[in-house]
Amino acid sequence: MAEKIPERNSIPEGHTWDLAPLYPTDQAWESHYDEIERELPRYDDYRGRLGESAAALKEAVEFDLGVSRNLEKLYTFAHLRSDEDKSNQHYLGFHQRAMNLYTRASELSSYMTPEIQAIPDDVIAGFLKDPSMAEYRFYFEKILRYKPHTLSTEIEEIIAMSGDMSHAASEIFSQLDNADLTFGHITDESGKDVELSHGNFSSFLQSHDREIRKKAFFQYYRSYDLHKNSIAAALHYSIKRDRFYSRVRNFENCRSSALFSDNVQDEVYDNLIETVRKNLGPLFRYLDFRKKMLDLDELHFYDTYVPIVKDVPYAMPYEEAVATCVRALAVLGEEYTGTLEQGLLGGWVDRYENRGKRSGAYSSGCYDSPPYILMNYRDDNINSLYTLIHEAGHSMHSWYSNRNQPYVYHDYAIFVAEVASTFNEALLSAHLLERYESDRKMKAYILNREIDNIRATLFRQTMFAEFEKLTHRTVEENRPLTLEVLRDIYRGLLKSYFGNSLVIDEELTLECLRIPHFYSSFYVYKYATGISAAIALSRKVRAEGNAARDAYLTFLTLGGSGYPLDELRVAGVDMSQPGPVEEAISHFGSLVDQFIGLYE
C-alpha cells in the first residue's frame, strides 16, 4: 500500500502549533475583526489636522499604529490557519477577509504620509524636539526620506486601493503550487510506494540510488512543465506590478525601489554578484570532485544533493533535533537556549507535513503572539535539522526584539533577519563537526553538508538575485518576458554559475518557475549577504567569547530601530564592504579543501 500524506485532522495536537495566545476560538477572531472594522472610520477624525501640533500628530500616529498592531494579530492567525491546509475554504476566507481589512485601512490612512510630508520643515523639526516625540524620531525620519517618492493624497488613496489586486499573481501561484499541483508516486529505496511532494522532494534527491533521484527530478518538474505557461504569466505580471509601483513612486528602477526602505545602495547588490562571479573556482573544484567521487561520467542537478559520503545512516526525531539545536547554541547563554527549547517543544512549531499544508518553512508571528514556525520536518533528512535551527534564529530574533522595542520598532528588516537565521546554522555546523571529531566518516558527512549549504545559500541565491535583476531589467526596457525568455535567461545563468562542471538538463530551466520568493522582489540576495555576515559573526562569537556574544545579542534586541547596515555594525560586521562576502567564499574554499583531504 502506498504511503500517503496524512490529512490535517490526523496530526496529533502536540505536533501542531498552539494559536490560543492569538485567539482561543474562531469566534474570538470574528469579534476582534468586527471591533477593528468599527474603529477604521476614526481615521477621518485626524484628516487635515496632523500639522496642528505635536500632540495632534502624536495622537494620530498612535491611533494608526494601534490599528496596525491589531490588524497584524488578526492577519497572523488567519494566514497561519490557512497555511495549515491551503484547501480549507473556511480559513482561506479568514485570510482573504484579513487582507481586505488591511486594504481598507491602507485606503483610509493613505492621507497620513503625504500630510506629514507636507508639514513645513521648520514646523516638523519643532514637533520632533518635543520630549514627548522622542520615541518617534526615527519613525518620522523614515517617512520624511520618502518625500520624493510620495504623491498627492488622492493618488495615494488610489494606490492603497490597489493593494488587494497587486497580490493577484502571488496568490495564484501560491494556490497552484501548494494546493493544486500533484507529483505522482515514487517507489523508494525500501520498495515502498510514496507520494512525491514538496516536502520529500529533497529527500529523494539525497537517495544513493541514482535512478530514484533521477526519476524524482524529472517527475517533479513534469508537473511544472504541464503548467509552465500559466506560471510564467504569473511571474511576468508580478514583475510588471513591481515596475508599475516603482514608476509611480518615481524610483529609477524596481531594484532601487525595493532597496530604498533598508537604505541599502545598489552597489551592495552589485558587489555581491560581482564578488561571487569572480570567485567561482572553489565551487567548480567541489563539483568536479563530487563527480569523481560519485564515479559519474556526467554530473546532473539531481546528483548535487546526494551525500558523497555513503553508508552514514541519518535519523533524528524532532525532539532530538531540538536538543541538538540547544547544545549548538549554548554559546549564546541560558536565556536564549532555555526560551528556545521551551518554545520549540511547547507550541511554537507546526512540525510535520499534511495534505494541503504550505510547502517549505518559515517563522511568523506578531507583536502580541509568540513566534511561530511552520515546518515540514523529516526525520530522515539532515536538512530538516538545519531548517529548524534556521527558523529558530528568526523566532528568537522576534522574541528579543518584541521584548526590547516598542511596537513602532519591533519589526526588523529582512536584511538582518537572514543574519540571525544563518548565524544559527553556522553554529550548528561548528557544533556537529566538534561532536563528530573522532568519527572521520561522520565528520566528512557534516563537512559535505556544510559545503552544500553554503553552495545553496551563497552561490545559488546570488544566481537567483542576478535572475531578478535581469528579468526586471527586461520589463523595464519594454522587452518581452515570455516563457522562453525566462528560460533563456535562467539557462545562461546556470551555465555561468556551474561552468562545465554540471550538465544542464532542459527541465532545470523550469526551476525559475517554482521559486516563491520571486514574488517578493529583490529578497533573495539577503540570503547571500546574510550567510556572509553570519559566518563572520559566528566565528567572532566563538573566538572572542562574552563581549562578542553580548554585541550579537544586543543586535537581536534592536528590531527596526535602525537601518540594517547600522544594526549589523553594532553586531560587529560591516556589510557595505565586500570583505564579508570574500571571507565567506574563502571559508567555503577552506571547507572544500578540508573535505577533499579528509575524504581522500
CA–CA separation, 204 and 94 (whole Å): 35
CA–CA separation, 554 and 561 (whole Å): 12
Q: How many residues does the chain have?
A: 600
CA–CA separation, 275 and 363 (whole Å): 30
DSSP 7: P
**Torsions phi, psi for 350 (to 5 deg):** -95, 105
DSSP 3-state of 53: coil
Using CA atoms, how far residue 300 sits from 38, 279, 288, 290, in Å, is 58, 22, 11, 11
**83: in domain:** yes
**CA-CA-CA-CA torsion sign (31, 34, 36, 38):** negative
Cβ atoms of residues 185 and 195 within 8 Å: yes
Nearest residue to 569 via CA among 364, 349, 416, 448: 416
For the chain, helix (H) and strand (E) counts, in that order, are 26, 5
Tens of pLDDT along the chain (600 residues) come to: 567 889 999 999 999 999 999 999 999 999 999 999 999 999 999 999 999 999 999 999 999 999 999 999 999 999 999 999 999 999 999 999 999 999 999 999 999 998 999 999 999 999 999 999 999 999 999 999 999 998 888 888 888 888 888 999 999 999 999 889 999 999 988 889 999 998 889 889 989 999 999 999 999 999 999 999 999 999 999 999 999 999 999 999 999 999 999 999 999 999 999 999 999 999 999 999 999 999 999 999 999 999 898 877 788 999 999 999 999 999 999 999 999 999 999 999 999 999 999 988 999 999 999 999 999 999 988 889 999 999 999 999 999 999 999 999 999 998 999 899 989 999 999 999 999 888 888 899 889 889 998 999 999 999 999 999 999 999 999 999 999 999 999 999 999 999 899 999 999 999 999 999 999 999 999 999 999 999 999 989 999 999 999 999 999 999 999 999 999 999 999 988 889 999 999 999 999 999 999 877
Element (H, E) at 364: strand 362-364
Q: The C-alpha cell of 12 is what?
A: 496529533
Specify whether 72 is catalytic: no
Residue ranges of alpha helices (H) inside 505-577 are 525-544, 546-557, 564-571
Cβ atoms of residues 267 and 472 within 8 Å: no
Provide the pLDDT for residue 2. 64
Provide the pLDDT for residue 1. 55
Cβ atoms of residues 106 and 159 within 8 Å: no
Q: The C-alpha cell of 204 is what?
A: 529523494
Provide the pLDDT for residue 17. 97
**130: in domain:** yes
**147: in domain:** yes
91: CATH: 1.20.140.70
DSSP 311: S
CA–CA separation, 493 and 511 (whole Å): 12
Question: Counting Cβ atoms within 10 Å, is residue 154 exposed (0-12), middle (13-18) or buried (19+)?
Answer: exposed
Element (H, E) at 195: strand 193-195
Q: How many C-alpha atoms does 274 have within 13 Å on its Cβ side?
A: 9
**241: in domain:** no
Q: What range does the domain containing 34 cover?
A: 10-169
Q: What Rg do the C-alpha atoms of the chain give, in angstroms?
A: 24
For the chain, how many structural domains are there in total?
A: 1
CA–CA separation, 536 and 548 (whole Å): 11
Using CA atoms, how far residue 288 sits from 9, 96, 498, 564, in Å, is 47, 49, 10, 37
**578: in domain:** no
Cβ atoms of residues 328 and 427 within 8 Å: yes
Q: How far apart are the first and last CA of the chain?
A: 42
**122: in domain:** yes
Q: The C-alpha cell of 31 is what?
A: 469579534
Q: The C-alpha cell of 442 is what?
A: 561522520
pLDDT tens per residue across span 423-474? 999 999 999 999 988 888 889 988 988 999 899 999 999 999 999 999 999 9
Cβ atoms of residues 331 and 354 within 8 Å: no
* Secondary structure (DSSP) of 453-509: HHIIIIIIHHHHHHHHHHHHHHHHTT----HHHHHHHHHHHHHHHHTTSSB--GGGG
CA–CA separation, 498 and 490 (whole Å): 12
State CA 11 to chain mean position distance: 26
Cβ atoms of residues 160 and 112 within 8 Å: no
CA–CA separation, 391 and 209 (whole Å): 30
Active-site residue (options: 72, 84, 115, 391): 391
Angle subtended at Cα 286 by Cα 458 and Cα 196, rounded to the nearest 5 degrees: 70
Provide the pLDDT for residue 157. 85
Cβ atoms of residues 529 and 415 within 8 Å: yes
Residues with Cβ within 8 Å of residue 208, at least 6 apart in sequence = 189, 306, 307, 310
**165: in domain:** yes
DSSP 186: E
DSSP 367: T
pLDDT tens per residue across span 332-352? 999 999 999 999 999 999 999
Question: Counting Cβ atoms within 10 Å, is residue 500 exposed (0-12), middle (13-18) or buried (19+)?
Answer: exposed
**47: in domain:** yes
Place of cell 511552520: 374
3-state DSSP percent of the chain in helix, strand and coil, to 5: 70, 5, 25
pLDDT tens per residue across span 223-247? 999 999 999 999 999 999 999 999 9
Residues with Cβ within 8 Å of residue 398, at least 6 apart in sequence = 363, 365, 371, 412
CA–CA separation, 181 and 87 (whole Å): 12
Question: Counting Cβ atoms within 10 Å, is residue 366 exposed (0-12), middle (13-18) or buried (19+)?
Answer: buried
